A and B are shown apart, each in its own frame.
Chain A
Amino acid sequence: AQTVTQSQPEMSVQEAETVTLSCTYDTSENNYYLFWYKQPPSRQMILVIRQEAYKQQNATENRFSVNFQKAAKSFSLKISDSQLGDTAMYFCAFMFRGGADGLTFGKGTHLIIQP
């Protein structure tokens, strides 16, 4: 079974700084997707960014970008110019292509943006 590990339970940075959240995963499969979801205090799960494993180019969404290292099974999230509204739990997630058994989530990183 696949596993997802987020080794940083909590991080805190100043507003406007850049922060990187780490995620590693373990799988023997070759076709899969990786995701970062954000869960603010409202508890709503919000999709931040998605990466297909067969694509070498790192995904980017505005201030959010990933560093996908397939051989190392690493999938970190970089948030540039951090804003107070970025304060949330961030979950890294994995899913096989085909998705029959859903997303496998890490335990999350609590990111706090300080004013």
Chain B
Amino acid sequence: NAGVMQNPRHLVRRRGQEARLRCSPMKGHSHVYWYRQLPEEGLKFMVYLQKENIIDESGMPKERFSAEFPKEGPSILRIQQVVRGDSAAYFCASAERQETQYFGPGTRLLVL
């Protein structure tokens, strides 16, 4: 059973461009969480999704950020019009049941 997969592993964008981060959960997992990690800090919750539904997006900025988890395909975190402050590591985690999350390797986003 492959682990949680994220791509790309590294992403460089210029200010104003769009960033799309993908997450494929472990087989059989229907719960997906996205977190952001700034340098020298712990992870901060952004959004929790189940198939085709956003359950909780209380940690996600109201503007420029969106997330989806379609019936088919990976979950996508989309950041529009990126700014330098969006530079961070973005981690996806999946769970079969809500209480135990397994993390992907993360996507390092650098905004120039």
Residues of A near any B CB (own CB < 8 A): 33, 37, 42-47, 50, 52, 91, 95, 97-108
Contact = CB atoms under 8 A, between A and B. Distances in A.
B56 A102 contact: yes
- Majority DSSP secondary structure for residues of B touching A: strand
Interface residues of B, number: 27
B48 A99 contact: yes
B101 A103 contact: yes
B43 A91 contact: yes
A85 B1 CA distance: 24
- Majority DSSP secondary structure for residues of A touching B: loop
B56 A45 contact: no
B42 A99 contact: no
A106 B106 CA distance: 18
B55 interface: yes
A101 B56 contact: yes
